[in-house]
């Protein structure tokens, strides 16, 4: 997992509330166990017609937002089922930060495991950032995880809360596997002692 570094990028406005994981990545795309390749099917039913043509009105199909790295979302983002394919699809598209007033708990945790930063801010601050996002690619938002700040296009600074352990993992690029590998010497020592104490095992 890549380390999360300060980001200044284009933000896409998605003011819909209760965007669930089935809207993020529909069930027919859940057969794969690979994290890559799902970005093309992100928001598939909102993004394409039934015959596979892009819907021009959908925000991520608009030229200004095709390279968006930040999503400004409505309340209760990521609700529904616990599918980890949802953050996989967002990350594969290139989304690194999602800002909302609230997230579903499982989706929120899965974001961190996949190198994305979900940020919770009050409604009035999300409204300001949503308006920034509607200005297109000329209005860029800055995210600094170290200082826990979001800076709007006109320089307003908002602070956000984050669990210290989750922050540490993002800043150092540590997923569950990397965290386990940090303890590999302790694991080896335990296995050596266990083999000596119970050689019949």
191 belongs to a structural domain: no
Total domains in the fold of the chain: 1
Domain that holds residue 41: 7-172
178 belongs to a structural domain: no
Render pLDDT for 104-148 as a digit per residue (tens, 0 to 9). Answer: 999 999 999 999 999 999 999 999 999 999 999 888 999 999 999
Query: What are the residue ranges of helices labelled H in the chain?
Result: 21-24, 44-47, 85-93, 105-113, 123-134, 164-172, 176-181, 184-197
CATH number of the structural domain spanning residue 137: 3.20.19.10
User: Rounded to two decimals, what is the model's pTM?
Assistant: 0.87
From the number of C-beta atoms within 10 Å of its C-beta (0-12, 13-18, 19+), residue 21 rates as: buried
72 belongs to a structural domain: yes
| Percent of the residues in the chain that have a pLDDT greater than 70, as a whole number | 89
Contact assessment for residue 124 and residue 101, using Cβ atoms and an 8 Å cutoff? no
Render pLDDT for 35-83 as a digit per residue (tens, 0 to 9). Answer: 778 999 999 999 999 999 999 999 999 999 999 999 999 999 999 988 8
Contact assessment for residue 122 and residue 98, using Cβ atoms and an 8 Å cutoff? no
Residues 6+ apart with CB under 8 A from 139: 11, 132, 133, 153
69 belongs to a structural domain: yes
184 belongs to a structural domain: no
DSSP-derived 3-state class of residue 5: coil
155 belongs to a structural domain: yes
For the chain, the first-to-last Cα distance in angstroms comes to 35
């Amino acid at each position: 997992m890549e380390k999360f570094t300060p980001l200044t990028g284009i933000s896409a406005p998605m003011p819909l509330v209760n965007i669930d994981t089935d809207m993020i990545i529909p069930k027919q795309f859940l057969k794969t166990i690979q994290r890559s390749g799902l970005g093309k099917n992100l928001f598939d039913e909102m993004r394409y017609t039934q015959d596979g043509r892009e819907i021009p009105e959908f925000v991520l199909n608009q030229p200004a937002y095709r390279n968006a790295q930040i999503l400004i979302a409505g309340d209760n983002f990521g609700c529904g089922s616990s599918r980890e394919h949802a953050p996989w699809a967002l990350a594969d598209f290139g989304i690194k930060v999602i800002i909302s007033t609230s997230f579903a708990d499982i989706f929120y945790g899965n974001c961190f495991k996949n190198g994305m930063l979900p940020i919770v801010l009050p409604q009035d601050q999300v409204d300001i950032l949503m308006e920034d996002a509607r200005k297109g690619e000329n209005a860029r938002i800055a995210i600094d995880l170290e200082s826990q700040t979001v800076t709007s296009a006109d320089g307003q600074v908002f602070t956000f809360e984050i669990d210290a352990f989750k922050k540490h993992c993002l800043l150092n690029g540590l997923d569950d596997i990397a965290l386990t590998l940090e303890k590999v010497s302790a694991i080896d020592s335990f296995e050596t002692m266990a083999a000596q104490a119970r050689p019949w095992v």
